[in-house]
Amino acid sequence: MRLLPKRKREAADTSSVAATQKVGKAFGFRQRWAAAFLESPQAILAAILLLLIVGFSLSAPFWGIEPDALNLDNMSQAPSTEHWFGTDGLGRDYFIRVLYGGRVSLAVGLLATLTGTGIGVVVGLAAGFSVPWVDSLLMRIVDFFNSLPWLLMVMVVSLLLQPGIVSIVICVGGFSWMGVARLVRAETLSIRERSYVRYAVYIGQTKIRSAAWHVLPDALPTILVAASAAVSGAMMSEATLSFLGRGIQPPQASWGQLLQIAQGSLQQLPHLALIPGALIMLTIYCLNVLTNVTRKATEAGQ
């Protein structure tokens, strides 16, 4: 075991290995997940909070407040009944900016995870299921990406792309697929020896078809745990990049980008920094709790 760097933390916790009887008895993955979910009050609370955060973020256009409307008579207000989170240095309503920022942060988290997991699954399946030289070539590429100092690299690559949601999704997703690829490769190597996969290959199904129809479904729970952990990682990466000024650019907002702006007026307006940061932390915490439920359900099935 290695002392894991931050981005690989999902593998470290073994405390959930001891899944309880009830979870172990349930048959399908979904039933096991539901059992693991329902027996943890923490998970239920996390799900409710997460639904609230997502719901509020999605509701942003329905509040009838313009996120970019300047109001120079009303700059730098503390929270009040009229402006729940106060106003920022340009007199914009901060509550609505936080809601719109949440949309961007959550969207980037999801899309970057889809990108990263997608690349990882394809690379992992290809490496595990095809001829040895492809396998070792792909694994060398994984090694190459792993030996890049990712934050430095992402900062350089972000210069190359037009700033915005798409480029940040590419940056974060494109540098976070290696873990999933390794995981899927390992799973594939074991699954492909099972009799039904060997039979499928024997009766002449193409490799791609066997991989997609027979190997992938069995590897799905493992992929799900990795993807679930990746969402919080991606959200943290987006926030970091935007905070460093290399992510979402104004007037568009994300939680990390709001923090970057808030840094400049920290002394006068600390609540501008407090609110988006607290929301990032809460969201990531809830996501991690739910990831643990998924992991428990997966491990109970093995």
Partner 1 sequence: MLGYLSRRLLLALPLLLLISFVVFAVMQLLPYDVIDSFARPDMDPAALQLLRERYGLDDPFIVQYGRWLWGVLQGDFGYSLVSRHSIADDLLTKIPHSISLVLPAYLIALVLAVVLGLLAGANRGRMFDTVIDSSNALFIAMPPFWFALLVMYFFGYQLRLFPIIGMHSVGRSDVADFLQHLFMPCLVLIVAFYPDMSRYVRSSAIGQLNEDYVMVQRAFGASKREIFVSHVSRHVLLPVITQLGLALPMLVTGALITETIFAWPGVGKYFADAVNSFDYPVVMAVLLLSAALVIIGNLLADISYRLADPRVRLKGEL
The footprint of partner 1 (CB under 8 A) covers 1-6, 9, 12-15, 143-144, 147-149, 151-153, 155-157, 159-160, 232, 236, 239-240, 243-246, 256, 259, 262-263, 266-267, 270, 273-274, 277-278, 280-282, 284-285, 288-289
Q: What does the alpha-carbon distance between residue 238 and residue 117 come to, in Å, rounded to a whole number?
A: 16
Residue 26 CB, nearest approach to partner 1 (Å): 24
CA 161 from chain centre, in angstroms, equals: 21
Does residue 91 come out as left (phi exceeding 0), alpha (psi in the -120 to 50 range) or beta?
Answer: left
Residue 156 in tokens: 């350089």
Cβ proximity to partner 1: between 206 and 263 the closer is: 263
Q: Which residues, 6 or more positions from 254, have their beta carbon under 8 angstroms from its beta carbon?
A: 101, 104, 105, 108, 238, 239, 242, 247, 248
Q: If we measure between CA atoms, which residue out of 192, 222, 193, 195 comes closest to residue 210?
A: 192
Cβ proximity to partner 1: between 224 and 236 the closer is: 236
Which residues are registered as beta bridge partners of 93?
A: 87
Cβ proximity to partner 1: between 65 and 139 the closer is: 139
Cβ proximity to partner 1: between 6 and 193 the closer is: 6
| Positive or negative torsion for Cα 111, 112, 113, 118 | positive
Residue 142 CB, nearest approach to partner 1 (Å): 12
Residue 278 CB, nearest approach to partner 1 (Å): 8
Residue 136 in tokens: 């070792």
Cβ proximity to partner 1: between 70 and 119 the closer is: 119
Q: Is residue 282 within a helix (H) or strand (E), and if so which, with residue range?
A: helix 270-300
Q: If we measure between CA atoms, which residue out of 126, 128, 99 comes closest to residue 186?
A: 128
285, amino acid identity: Y
Q: Is residue 48 within a helix (H) or strand (E), and if so which, with residue range?
A: helix 41-58
Residue 9 CB, nearest approach to partner 1 (Å): 5
Residue 255 CB, nearest approach to partner 1 (Å): 9
Cβ proximity to partner 1: between 5 and 204 the closer is: 5
Residue 262 CB, nearest approach to partner 1 (Å): 7
**SS3 for 139?**
helix
Residue 105 CB, nearest approach to partner 1 (Å): 11
User: How many beta carbons lie within 10 A of that of residue 78, not counting itself?
Assistant: 10
Cβ proximity to partner 1: between 21 and 268 the closer is: 268
Residue 69 CB, nearest approach to partner 1 (Å): 26
Residue 28 in tokens: 């399908």
Q: Which residues, 6 or more positions from 152, have their beta carbon under 8 angstroms from its beta carbon?
A: none
Cβ proximity to partner 1: between 59 and 146 the closer is: 146
